[in-house]
Structure 1
Amino acid sequence: MTKQLPALFREKMIDLLGENEFEQFLKSYDQPRTFGLRVNTVKVEKADFLAKSPFALSAVPWASEGFYYEEGERPGKHPYYHAGLYYIQEPSAMAPVELLQVRPGERVLDLCAAPGGKSTQIAAKLQSEGVLVVNDIHSDRVKALVKNLELLGVRNAIVLNEKPERMLKVFQGYFDKILIDAPCSGEGMFRKEEEMMHQWERHSVQEFASMQRELLGQAAQMLAPGGMIVYSTCTFSPEENEAQIAEFLDKHPAFDVVPVEGFGAGRPDWLRAPWCEEEFSDRAREAVAGTARLWPHRLRGEGHFVAVLRRDGATVEGDAGSAGDARDAGRAADVVSASGKRSGREALRKGRAETSTRAAVSLEPLEAFSVELLRSEPFAAERLVCYGEHAYASPAGLPELHGLKVVRPGWYIGSLHRGRFEPSHALAMGLRMREAKRALSLASRDERALRYLKGETLEVAESEIIRDPEVTKAAKGYCLVCIEDHPVGWGKWHDGMLKNEYPPGWRWT
């Protein structure tokens, strides 16, 4: 591996690190890769997962739900993965969200979100309370983002495929926390993906620096007073790291760096030619020392840069919708949908909601499904939004999203078509088994669990269907299929057979 490192990269790192530390850095490329997973506490408590984990795990020191696993393990080939109990994630990539200090009920933006590792980590911190807006400019990558959010049972996310500058008017001063896991030259990925070395040689560091500069400026406008931005990259380049933060601080005096402890410190001494030609204030240079560098030769991870930026609590001109105004507007909007609908609870009671084109659509089939299958209405406290025949539960407190490219306006509930309601796979994955009146729970070692994940029809005795004690009617119809009490999809039971409703694109191969 070390022989394949680009010559210009080697020369740069020698200049930055010095000969002695560069030798230590270089040796890390010949060490085994590190592998990690993060327990998804949206679906399972950490202690409960550890009690039944089939893998040999050791804790990632900087991530409360993060664990290392050995290279021979195959967590992606276990039924627990398909139940969304964990997300496979490189250990150092878990640090930015931990430093974002997300709390339940907050409004959080993941600005460059695909494929969704950090988005799902934020969702676990929110615990289905508050609003999570995730965005990615690349339409081809948004599909993976949506799938990962659904797999991990996230209920309160809005998915956008939008240019950040187009989001400014809608979300001016709206968010409590913003994550910018910025596009970068990817030098920290060289050991994990050798293709990144070839891309590094084809793309200019300055090209990425220009994008990062814009993202930081745009995020600052969407942050509420007193809010926090975490900026991160997986590269070692000071042009994309310390220089970005120093320039941002000089342009935005309302922001300060919150010093990060426990990792290598940022390097203000690297703000020099030939890597950084700009002049920065003494304040900015000193603050950069409070940023963090995760080095692969100092810890078990591939490498990251992280800066925590806090905005002061003052409201300035241009903070439209920030602070109290945005929250008051959000509360007022709770009783209507993004297109003027009543709240979910009221809409179900009235039996109709408007679609995005203002045409009425009957919610009676959804209400009937809810009465028959669900012990509660997990989406009724939210705002039901219908786009055509597709129903979503949109988090309360959202501003109007008109004009934005919305991929998912909330938790996808299902489709209403010709007087019938078909529940979505996302609904199944977001439910808890206790919320369903009919459920089947299979042990992970039951061969039927694997057969279900492959899309096969199962033989299931009626006595195996777990039903609400108050329900006396037969088990016929939709049934929430679970693996050890954790939902994985729908089935339709009739006369000893369970018809498989697991989506073809999700099936075990």
Structure 2
Amino acid sequence: MTFMAECSLPQAFLLHMKELLGEEYPAFEASYGEDRLYGLRVNPLKISPAAFRELTEWELKPIPWAPEGFYYEEGVRPGKHPHYHAGLYYIQEPSAMAPVELLDVQPGHRVLDLCAAPGGKTTQLAGKLQGTGLVAANDIHSERVKALVKNLELNGVREAVVLNEDPAKLQEAFRGYFDRILIDAPCSGEGMFRKEEEMAKAWQEDWTEKYASMQRVLLRQAAVMLKPGGRLVYSTCTFSPEENEQIIAGFLDEHPDFEIAPAPELPGFAPGRPDWVPAGSARAAETAGAARLWPHRLAGEGHFAAALRRREAPEGAAALAAEPAPEARRAARPSAKPQRRAAGGRPAAKAAAAADPREALARFAGESLAGEPYGSAELVLRGEHVYAAPAGLPVLDGIRVVRPGWYLGSAAKGRFAPSHALAMGLRAEEALRRVNFTGGDPRAVRYLKGDTLELTPEELLRAHENVQTKGYTLVCIDGYPAGWAKWQDGLLKNEYPAGWRWT
């Protein structure tokens, strides 16, 4: 059903767009009578786009500006398929995939997603890193961070740190630290009216200035954390010039060490509009290098994105260091090596109960994993919980860190319980015991619903004959991990988290 059949657009919004677009306005208004479009983005941490197209039965059409992105038909329900629960793709509006593509993330980069929840663009960034470097995902809203964490875990992202902090508090710890920064800024949301009718109903005329004041601050804060030579992408899902070209022009006027990195010429992309910047800006003309995505010009919703490059510091000039000072990089976290108790310590029973969780992790890895997939990462403890932290993080004292790295699991009384995040971040061959269901096998859905399953010893796949049959088993769907179970005496006892189960 079309948007216009259900809802009318705010009149003040329509009058403003008519004034801005002139002769283009009729085509713009008519686009709201068209059906909205649906997209998904294949997760390259799990599977290539070509391999996914061979695996799936859905009819998919490539999205021109996103190499992992595809349109799918309205009747398809990708959220109700076992492949979704295996993290093979993320459901995302097509135009929302564009900002990350403009950021030009390369393997090994340190990347900040400043306004990250619910995690769509963060998972896209992680896919570009291909398991290298790190992505710091921050959002100021604690409730929204929960969805961010879940999406990172579902997509098998290992090299991520999740923060829940005001960006003002990040500036000192991350000064000159990041190669790439994404600001998918809070905005008035005009570009999403066709997709989210409730947003159109709630929209108010004064939203543009309210959000613009926040956006100016976010850009200034992010600039402090970008390396010389680094790139920052500012994006919104609104049409308002006050939140787009005017924000960028004002930032460039204040920051002579930044310049526009012109957007590539892609199908349907339109340039920014310097003529919508009021007189007085010395650098308004540069905003033509931004990208505007209009619903009447391409198959997607409304978006704006501008890539900003920080110039390299002149030779001999005082510039922000790309690395924190050595003393600032001293780990504020426990050593990666297990800590032994001090001499003259506790009775043996209590000492065993308080054993280092990393020792329990090492035993689990020997029994259930083919090596240690967390490699040389620093193992961070939070009580009985163990995380693998990305290398090279600065001290984060005083900053709310929700996830200091890849969550591996927890230990109690010397027994290690692997996390769902560990399962989702593994490759099938990294588990000593696994079982594989096809996406069409009813047992795949039963597993995702939390059922205990019957499984013959012959169906249990072991890395070699010396691996015991009893123990933690990685459950895979078409070869891709979906979670843990325990096999014993012909039964696969379900370890799928209750909060994740198929409903």
Amino acid at match of 2:485: G
Asked if the contact 1:337–1:384 (Cα under 8 Å) also holds between the matched residues in 2, the reply is no
What is the DSSP-based 3-state SS (H/G/I as helix, E as strand, rest coil) of the residue aligned with 1:280? coil
Q: Indicate which of 138, 160, 165 corresponds to 2:141.
A: 138
Which residue of the partner structure matches residue 310 of structure 2? 311
Whole-Å separation in 1 of the counterparts to 2:379 and 2:385: 10
Amino acid at match of 1:68: Y
Deviation at 1:361, TM superposition (A): 2.7
The one-character-per-residue Cα deviations of 1:186-228 (angstroms, maximum 9, x if unpaired) are: 0001001111113322752111000000000000000011000
Deviation at 1:48, TM superposition (A): 1.1
Asked if the contact 1:256–1:310 (Cα under 8 Å) also holds between the matched residues in 2, the reply is yes
What is the DSSP-based 3-state SS (H/G/I as helix, E as strand, rest coil) of the residue aligned with 2:396? coil
Whole-Å separation in 1 of the counterparts to 2:145 and 2:319: 31
Q: Indicate which of 265, 272, 288 corresponds to 2:271.
A: 265
Whole-Å separation in 1 of the counterparts to 2:465 and 2:126: 34
The one-character-per-residue Cα deviations of 1:352-377 (angstroms, maximum 9, x if unpaired) are: 9xxxxxx9834221111001111121
Whole-Å separation in 1 of the counterparts to 2:467 and 2:198: 59
Give the alignment of 1:340-359 within 5 angstroms: 340-342=334-336, 347=337
What is the DSSP-based 3-state SS (H/G/I as helix, E as strand, rest coil) of the residue aligned with 2:21? helix
Which residue of the partner structure matches residue 358 of structure 2? 363
Is residue 19 of structure 2 the alignment partner of residue 15 of structure 1? yes
Is residue 90 of structure 2 the alignment partner of residue 91 of structure 1? no
The verdict on how the C-alpha distance between 1:360 and 1:455 changes in structure 2, with shifts beyond 3 A counting, is closer
Deviation at 1:146, TM superposition (A): 0.3
Deviation at 1:468, TM superposition (A): 1.4
Asked if the contact 1:351–1:362 (Cα under 8 Å) also holds between the matched residues in 2, the reply is no
Q: Indicate which of 380, 386, 389 corresponds to 1:394.
A: 389
Which residue of the partner structure matches residue 345 of structure 2? none
What is the DSSP-based 3-state SS (H/G/I as helix, E as strand, rest coil) of the residue aligned with 2:356? strand
Q: Which runs of 5+ in 2 are unaligned?
A: 342-353
Give the alignment of 1:29-40 within 5 angstroms: 29-40=32-43
Asked if the contact 2:41–2:69 (Cα under 8 Å) also holds between the matched residues in 1, the reply is yes
Is residue 79 of structure 2 the alignment partner of residue 76 of structure 1? yes
The one-character-per-residue Cα deviations of 1:137-162 (angstroms, maximum 9, x if unpaired) are: 00110000000000000000000000
Whole-Å separation in 1 of the counterparts to 2:385 and 2:206: 41
Whole-Å separation in 2 of the counterparts to 1:317 and 1:204: 40
Aligned pairs, number = 483
Which residue of the partner structure matches residue 494 of structure 1? 488
Give the alignment of 1:48-67 within 5 angstroms: 48-67=51-70
What is the DSSP-based 3-state SS (H/G/I as helix, E as strand, rest coil) of the residue aligned with 2:250? helix
Whole-Å separation in 1 of the counterparts to 2:467 and 2:220: 60
What is the DSSP-based 3-state SS (H/G/I as helix, E as strand, rest coil) of the residue aligned with 1:4? coil
Asked if the contact 1:337–1:385 (Cα under 8 Å) also holds between the matched residues in 2, the reply is no
Which of 182-191 and 372-381 deviates more? 372-381
Whole-Å separation in 2 of the counterparts to 1:55 and 1:453: 21
Is residue 191 of structure 2 the alignment partner of residue 196 of structure 1? no
The one-character-per-residue Cα deviations of 1:266-302 (angstroms, maximum 9, x if unpaired) are: 0011113xxxxx7211xx1110111110000000001
Which residue of the partner structure matches residue 356 of structure 1? none
Whole-Å separation in 1 of the counterparts to 2:447 and 2:458: 18
Which residue of the partner structure matches residue 164 of structure 2? 161
Which residue of the partner structure matches residue 507 of structure 1? 501
Deviation at 1:401, TM superposition (A): 1.0
Asked if the contact 2:295–2:302 (Cα under 8 Å) also holds between the matched residues in 1, the reply is yes
Deviation at 1:472, TM superposition (A): 4.5
Whole-Å separation in 1 of the counterparts to 2:340 and 2:494: 29
TM-score, normalization by structure 1: 0.92
Which residue of the partner structure matches residue 349 of structure 2? none
Whole-Å separation in 1 of the counterparts to 2:340 and 2:377: 15
Is residue 254 of structure 2 the alignment partner of residue 251 of structure 1? yes
Q: Indicate which of 231, 234, 241 corresponds to 2:234.
A: 231
Deviation at 1:337, TM superposition (A): 4.8
The verdict on how the C-alpha distance between 1:298 and 1:351 changes in structure 2, with shifts beyond 3 A counting, is farther
Asked if the contact 2:357–2:416 (Cα under 8 Å) also holds between the matched residues in 1, the reply is no
The verdict on how the C-alpha distance between 1:87 and 1:472 changes in structure 2, with shifts beyond 3 A counting, is closer
What is the DSSP-based 3-state SS (H/G/I as helix, E as strand, rest coil) of the residue aligned with 2:203? helix
Deviation at 1:125, TM superposition (A): 0.3
Asked if the contact 2:439–2:477 (Cα under 8 Å) also holds between the matched residues in 1, the reply is yes
Give the alignment of 1:1-12 within 5 angstroms: 1-2=3-4, 4-12=8-16
Q: Indicate which of 406, 409, 412 corresponds to 1:414.
A: 409
Identity over aligned residues, as a percent? Answer: 59
Whole-Å separation in 1 of the counterparts to 2:466 and 2:105: 40
What is the DSSP-based 3-state SS (H/G/I as helix, E as strand, rest coil) of the residue aligned with 1:171? coil
Whole-Å separation in 2 of the counterparts to 1:362 and 1:179: 35
TM-score, normalization by structure 2: 0.93
Amino acid at match of 2:297: R
What is the DSSP-based 3-state SS (H/G/I as helix, E as strand, rest coil) of the residue aligned with 2:482? strand
The verdict on how the C-alpha distance between 1:445 and 1:337 changes in structure 2, with shifts beyond 3 A counting, is farther
Deviation at 1:380, TM superposition (A): 3.0
Which of 200-209 and 213-222 deviates more? 200-209
Whole-Å separation in 1 of the counterparts to 2:375 and 2:384: 18
Asked if the contact 1:135–1:160 (Cα under 8 Å) also holds between the matched residues in 2, the reply is yes
Which of 308-317 and 132-141 deviates more? 308-317
Whole-Å separation in 2 of the counterparts to 1:340 and 1:496: 41
Which residue of the partner structure matches residue 459 of structure 2? 464
Amino acid at match of 2:407: Y
Is residue 245 of structure 2 the alignment partner of residue 242 of structure 1? yes
Whole-Å separation in 2 of the counterparts to 1:71 and 1:317: 55
